[in-house]
């Protein structure tokens, strides 16, 4: 059974940093592209970032480029999102998702940016 479990969210002050993790199991993680998608409270889905299976290429939404960094550790079956210079409008549930089309999603981790 495919499982994606996010962690690392929490309350952080504007300008702060967090590192989100997504632990994957039940599939060949090293062969799958992975993505992060976020959803602000009461809002729609916003694609954030993606990474190819071997970390050759990373992709970012304009709203996060330069502040967010996606990475992965295929030996630990884990996806990461380093988020720096956090702003209030980064407040959202952050989901990790598997594949080019997201056939599996985690349950999400909530990031709240507030002073």
The site for another protein (CB under 8 A) is made up of 35, 37, 44-47, 50, 59-62, 95, 100-103, 105-108
For another protein, which is the closer residue by CB, 23 or 59? 59
Distance of closest approach, residue 30 Cβ to another protein, in angstroms: 20
Q: How close are the terminal C-alpha atoms of the chain, in Å?
A: 40
Distance of closest approach, residue 84 Cβ to another protein, in angstroms: 19
For another protein, which is the closer residue by CB, 2 or 77? 2
Beta partners for 55?
Answer: none
Rg over alpha carbons for the chain, rounded to the nearest Å, is 13
For another protein, which is the closer residue by CB, 8 or 16? 8
Distance of closest approach, residue 103 Cβ to another protein, in angstroms: 5
Task: Report strand pairing: 10-12 vs 109-113.
Answer: parallel
Contacts of 65 (CB under 8 A, 6+ apart): none
Instruction: Say which residue the tokens 């989901």 belong to.
Output: 95
């Amino acid at each position: 059974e495919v499982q994606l479990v996010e962690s690392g969210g929490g309350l952080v002050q504007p300008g702060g940093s967090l590192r989100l993790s997504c632990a994957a199991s039940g599939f060949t993680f090293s062969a799958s592209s992975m993505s992060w998608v976020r959803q602000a409270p009461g809002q729609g889905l916003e694609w954030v970032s993606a990474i190819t299976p071997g970390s050759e290429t990373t992709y970012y939404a304009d709203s996060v480029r330069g502040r967010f960094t996606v990475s992965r550790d295929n030996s630990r079956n884990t996806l990461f999102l380093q988020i720096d210079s956090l702003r209030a409008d980064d407040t959202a549930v952050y989901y990790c998702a598997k594949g080019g089309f997201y056939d599996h999603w985690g349950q999400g981790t909530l990031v709240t940016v507030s002073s």
